[in-house]
Structure 1
């Protein structure tokens, strides 16, 4: 299986790029953001708990997210591979994902980190907020806080996979198709090593 992490701060283009990669490589797509939003839309206890954290611009606790990912993984047993979008977000989640995959005889092939500077991220998210309907995309201070949380708490995940020789940094500024091609090149390289 080809398991890939698409990584980067909010607004880096993970959602846009993951759709293209899922289609090209026929991978399953696991987005914690989508999982959390579906729980919130359904009004579940987990969704309400997640909403409280998200409205403050904070990360949802690891145990909650890991439990959701594990049940989603169990449902994807016949997949060619998985692209993880927005997960793992903490070192503990990365370690838990590695252990979970190892228990199933799998591993992460690569972590693709979309690199975008903060001013561009803020601009993109606020623009997305005009059409997404997401409250957390419409408040500039909250957007900046989300990016800062990423810098402080999430970037360490890239270091974790860099130590394993699995990190590929990709410039996330430019034409969408150009960025997609850079990602495909990195994936093909990682797949050849696996």
Structure 2
């Protein structure tokens, strides 16, 4: 299967993508992983991306598209893939359509993870990270430490990342609504979109997604 996963920040795309890709036995292709891999390997596209990032500029669509196309051409993606974070705008969606047509392929589904905006803000703004180990993550409401502000694992100080502040989260949501959300209507016109509630336990959301794909 060839699937695009869409949803606002805080919808749990990364978590769901990993579970779905494992259940469907297809590679999970995320924009973040593409950038890290290309930059660490020093590929031409990675070097271009690094130049833009070091200068504080957004990486142009053509670089992101090139990375995604290279990854989709790899052997493990021959039987399908799950795209997470790509396409992020109409231009990238059109480029993806062109790539698929050129290789006589098509998308099977676009899964739209839906979550209320206030819930997104609550999820992200409540996150607290250990200064000693960023893999130790807590939440002010859902996963509190035994002692306020102190990591249960190592005793490190818990803090809120600047990117997780409510103001920043709302700015990220505004960008999502203006740039990425329009691809949902773009794919609806192709009859590909299924909207799934991203509320509830992780396994419940995964079950809804698998049912939408006819794999329950």
The alpha carbon displacement at 1:35 in A equals 1.9
1:46 paired residue number: 49
Deviations 1:25-74 (A, max 9, x none): 00111101222244566784413524634xxxxx6431121011111112
1:111/1:167 contact within 8 Å kept: yes
2:62 paired residue number: 63
Q: Distance between the aligned counterparts of 1:33 and 1:7, measured in 2? A: 15
Q: Distance between the aligned counterparts of 1:136 and 1:42, measured in 2? A: 29
Which of the two has greater helix per residue? Answer: 1
Q: Distance between the aligned counterparts of 1:188 and 1:92, measured in 2? A: 29
1:8/1:114 contact within 8 Å kept: yes
1:164 paired residue number: 190
Tell me if 1:175 matches 2:201.
Answer: yes
Secondary structure at 1:143's aligned position in 2?
Answer: helix
Rg comparison, structure with higher value: 2
Secondary structure at 1:184's aligned position in 2?
Answer: helix
Q: Which runs of 5+ in 2 are unaligned?
A: 138-159
Alpha-carbon RMSD: 2.6
Deviations 1:151-191 (A, max 9, x none): 011111010110011110001111111110110011127xx
Normalised to the residue count of structure 1, the TM-score between the two structures is: 0.83
Deviations 1:94-140 (A, max 9, x none): 11101101111111111100001112212222345624699664343
1:111/1:161 contact within 8 Å kept: yes
